[in-house]
């Protein structure tokens, strides 16, 4: 079996607007596409990935503007949905059948929107963790931090200041934790590379309006998981999605917040394997 810490290869597709979008491929087994959320890249799944790659062929996506994926100035959430749709169809074509699909946070929104728009039977099972379905009105605090980050980008282009502002003022980490994160030179360098995506993704929900009726098009077995400690907006979003997709069930990740795959990777992997492999 390939080394679970090193990608076997890259897999790329061309999205509807011509943007190249890529995945890092790990492991062997049934194909599983994993789509990350805001202010991170594919590496957010690093702690869970080795165990998952023993069970699945993982296609771990870099959303546009990050890592091995391209970008364009004409950005919108709908372009992100098209990216995921193209990736689902590309992997299904390569592997010869429907694939398993997982989305976290904004990746949960991207995956359910993509799944709702598919014209092919390219998805076998679907799992969303803390799906972020924007609901008006948007948080004034979120809009304020997005505006501040956009202004930094416009005025100085200082990506390090953007990431520091995001972490200290929005995620509320301590200066000590920030210092430890900056000490990881490789990961910090990757963060600087996609800093420009944070304000646009935070502000994307200002113009996007979810069409819940569209989500009824998802006809595959679906599980929604929400962190017990995740904030109220994510709790509501998860319940809404579970109520909308026919047959979907909702489970609670006990003791975990928004990043349970980092804080408790063993439980996360167990739930993924149970849903995608053990349950029939």
Predicted local distance difference test score (pLDDT) of residue 2: 46
Q: Is 164 left (phi over 0), alpha (psi -120 to 50) or beta?
A: alpha
The secondary element (H helix, E strand) that includes residue 185 is helix 185-193
Is pLDDT at 1 greater than 60 in this prediction? Answer: no
pLDDT digits (tens, 9 = 90+) for 91-117: 999 999 999 999 999 999 999 999 999
9-134+210-278: which CATH topology?
Rossmann fold (3.40.50)
Bond before 28 cis per omega within 30 degrees: no
pLDDT digits (tens, 9 = 90+) for 113-134: 999 999 889 999 999 999 999 8
Sequence spans of domains, the chain: 9-134+210-278, 140-200
Strand 20-26 to 9-14 pairing: antiparallel
Q: How far apart are CA 54 and CA 51, in angstroms?
A: 5
Q: Where residue 145 falls among pLDDT bands split at 50, 70, 90? A: confident
pLDDT digits (tens, 9 = 90+) for 190-207: 889 999 999 898 888 778
CA distances from 121 to 100, 104, 176 (A): 12, 22, 48
């Amino acid at each position: 079996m390939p080394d679970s810490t090193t990608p076997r290869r890259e897999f790329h597709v061309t999205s509807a607007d011509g943007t190249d979008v890529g995945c890092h491929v790990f492991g062997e087994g049934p194909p599983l596409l994993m789509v990350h959320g805001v202010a991170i890249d594919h590496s957010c799944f690093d702690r869970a990935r080795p165990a998952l790659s023993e069970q699945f062929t993982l296609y771990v996506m870099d959303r546009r503007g990050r890592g091995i994926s391209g970008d364009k100035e004409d950005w919108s959430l709908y372009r992100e949905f098209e990216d995921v749709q193209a990736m689902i169809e590309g992997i299904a074509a390569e592997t010869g059948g429907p694939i398993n699909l997982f989305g976290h946070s904004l990746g949960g929104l991207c995956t359910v929107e993509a799944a709702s728009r598919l014209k092919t039977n390219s998805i076998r099972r679907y799992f969303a963790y803390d799906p972020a379905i924007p609901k008006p009105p948007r948080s004034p605090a979120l809009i304020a931090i997005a505006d501040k980050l956009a202004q930094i980008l416009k005025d100085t282009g200082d990506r390090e200041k953007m990431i520091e502002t995001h972490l200290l003022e929005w995620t509320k980490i301590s200066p000590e934790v920030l210092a430890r994160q900056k000490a990881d030179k490789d990961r910090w360098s990757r963060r600087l590379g996609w800093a420009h995506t944070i304000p646009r993704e935070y502000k994307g929900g200002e113009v996007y309006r979810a069409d819940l009726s569209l989500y009824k098009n998802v006809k595959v077995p679906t599980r929604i998981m929400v962190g017990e400690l995740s904030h109220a907006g994510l709790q509501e979003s998860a319940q809404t999605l579970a109520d909308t997709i026919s047959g979907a069930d909702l489970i609670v990740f006990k003791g975990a917040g928004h990043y349970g795959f980092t804080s408790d990777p063993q439980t996360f992997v167990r739930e993924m394997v149970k849903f995608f492999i053990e349950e029939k």
